[in-house]
Amino acid sequence: MPPVLEFQDISKSFDRQSVLRDFSLSVDPSEFLTLLGPSGSGKTTLLRLAAGFERPDNGKVVLRGSDVTHLPPYHRRVNTVFQNYALFPHLTVAHNVAFGLRNLKLSKVEVHSRASAALDMVQLANLSDRLPHQLSGGQQQRVGLARALVMQPEVLLLDEPFGALDQRLRQQMQQELKAVQRRLELTFVFVTHDQEEALSLSDRIALLHEGRLDQIGSPDQIYNWPASRFAAEFMGIPNIFPLSGTKPEGVGTRCQLKTGETFLVTSAANGNQARFLAVRPENIRVSRASLPHGKSNNVIRGRVRQARYLGSSILWSVEANHLTWAASEVVNGGTDMGSVSLEDEVFLSWEPSRGVLLA
């Protein structure tokens, strides 16, 4: 199916600072795509280019096959949910939601029914006569969502909509949002810097780094198989070690750390140009018993220096050959404090299929 929204070779600078460079991306119909990245990576700019609040210096924005690059926002069939809600303070909830409908030349009956349906969908029907300042943050954001949804846009753009909410409310709103998206089969483009949010909501994640598309893939792919050092760091992998060289070995690659150790990695990507090795802590086992180092297992010996109790797991910091490895161990609650202790000499092991080679 043709993409519903496309960015083609977009470049954009502000005050001579380049924010996006030759950026291209396609958004598929009915997908929940998240633009993920640190501040300044260009993700909000991209959203604003799609909405029409900015024009690119170069490149095109294409909506359902039509070039909308130079169309003003009011001529584009996209709508935005703003981070600070941007509700109209002088209008009630009902009038806020119906605001855009007036521009569609609908009958009074249809305006009323569409607005009511939208309010029902965000569970605010009973507050329709309130003014924005009488609502909580979560309620205000729901109004903002209803106001945009009621316009039935081709793409809904959401700019860190839950940024100002507390953790529990955030998670609740995330679930509600996902349910709405699934139900309406709308295309959502969602901007966030929170990787957990991105992982839990998205069909695909586009990882942005300094105005470029670093990696795009499913949450599983981005989480388990980051392609670059930036991606691995951003997705929270602490074990990233520079390599001095790689060599094909069997179906995989034997890589050598700058500090000398060698490991076998059998995951698919980046065999020859790899510069770093990354392994997720949850994929590393820690034990006092010695383990064989060989084709089915990568093992390294070290000493436990730190322990971080995280509730459902313990994060061990193990010093091995002047490097610090992080290994995560699930604990069973109660008084389970893990299988090793501080200052123990331990063996870390991980399977070759769990290593990630980074460019």
Contacts with other proteins by CB under 8 A lie at: 51-53, 72-74, 78-80, 82, 84, 86-92, 94-95, 98-100, 102-104, 108, 111-112, 115, 147-148, 151
Question: How does DSSP assign 180-243, residue by residue?
Answer: HHHHHT-EEEEEES-HHHHHHH-SEEEEEETTEEEEEE-HHHHHH---SHHHHHHTT--EEEEE
Closest separation in Å from C-beta 273 to other proteins: 43
DSSP β-bridge partners for residue 60: 8
Tokens 């029914």 map to which residue? 113
Bridge-based pairing state of the strands 204-209 and 32-36: parallel
| Least separation in angstroms between CB 210 and other proteins | 24
Least distance between other proteins and beta carbon 75 (Å): 8
Token couple for 277: 């090795």
Closest approach, Cβ 147 to other proteins, in A, equals 7
Going through the chain in order, the beta strands assigned E by DSSP cover: 5-14, 17-27, 32-36, 58-63, 66-67, 78-81, 155-159, 187-192, 204-209, 212-217, 239-249, 252-257, 262-265, 276-279, 285-287, 298-309, 313-320, 323-330, 345-350, 356-358
Least distance in angstroms from the C-beta of 107 to other proteins: 11
The amino acid present at 290, given as its one-letter code, is S
- By C-beta, is 51 or 231 nearer to other proteins? 51
Q: CB of 27: closest distance to other proteins in angstroms?
A: 18
Look at residue 59 and give its three-state secondary structure.
strand
Nearer to other proteins, 35 or 98 (CB): 98
- Minimum CB separation of residue 84 from other proteins in Å reads 6
| CA pair distance 102, 95, nearest whole angstrom | 10
Strand order across the 345-350 sheet: 285-287, 345-350, 298-309, 313-320, 323-330
Angle between helices 137-149 and 108-121 (to 10 degrees): 140
Nearest-approach distance from CB 134 to other proteins, in angstroms? 13
Nearer to other proteins, 148 or 173 (CB): 148
DSSP secondary structure of 80-93: EE-TT----TTS-H
**The pair of three-digit structure tokens given for residue 231, joined into one six-digit string:** 């991606």
117 membership: H or E segment, kind and range: helix 108-121
Nearer to other proteins, 20 or 98 (CB): 98
By C-beta, is 129 or 345 nearer to other proteins? Answer: 129
Q: Measuring CA to CA, which residue among 249, 244, 243, 222 is closest to residue 233? A: 222
Q: Smallest gap, in angstroms, from Cβ of residue 99 to other proteins? A: 5
Nearer to other proteins, 111 or 169 (CB): 111
What six digits make up the tokens of 102?
A: 């007036």
Q: Which is nearer to other proteins, 15 or 343 (CB)?
A: 15
Q: Which is nearer to other proteins, 115 or 348 (CB)?
A: 115
Quick one: 69 or 80, whose CB is closer to other proteins?
80
